Amino acid sequence: MSEGPDPAEARVISHSVMSRAWGLRVNTIAASNLVSRPLRRRIYRHAGLEVETDDIYPHCYFHTCDIRIGPGSVINYGCYFENVGRVEIGPRTGLAMFVKVITSAHKIGSRERRPVKWTPTPVTIGAGCWIGAGAIILPGVTIGDGCVVATGAVVTEDCKPDALYGGVPARHIRDLPPEAP
């Protein structure tokens, strides 16, 4: 006698782009310029995303519902979340246009097949951060509270709180004062 599908696996399918209906609601309808920000938030929440802000702009892409966006955060136009691993975005954090958050990678295999064993790894972006336009956050990275990531940076390692990071790969540029001058 078959026990049926694993409930966790069923949730992944029904709350990700593996479900055409879910993908249509989240990445086409909610992502449209024709949808108001409050309605977009309601659609995302109904689809299982943990969204605590109305400030998510059009054309953002979510691979699954495994994300939490804190209150007062701003997700600008065209951000891309390949969130097969959990993504946590703290309160009052801003992601500029076209930021990409990647949560999975493949181990490197032999020349017959280089991409082997797919591994999702969570990404955490702390409270009060500012991620510049076109920045890319790679799997497993934690960005500390109050951190600034410069436009176009590729973040491959953890970033400490209250610091400025930039470049490819991103490197520590300087510490920032915890309080405004």
d(CA 95, CA 73): 8
What strands lie across the sheet with 67-69, from one edge to the other?
50-51, 67-69, 87-89, 123-125, 142-143
Looking only at the bridges linking them, the beta strands covering 80-82 and 61-62 are: parallel
The candidate with the shortest Cα–Cα distance to 44, out of 92, 81, 7, is: 81
Which alpha helices (DSSP H) does 57-181 contain, by range? none
Residues 6+ apart with CB under 8 A from 24: none
Q: Write down the catalytic residue from 59, 63, 106, 172.
A: 106
The letter for the amino acid at 117 is: K
The candidate with the shortest Cα–Cα distance to 92, out of 130, 122, 148, is: 130
The candidate with the shortest Cα–Cα distance to 158, out of 175, 173, 171, 141, is: 141
106 is catalytic: yes
Q: Tell me the catalytic residues.
A: 106
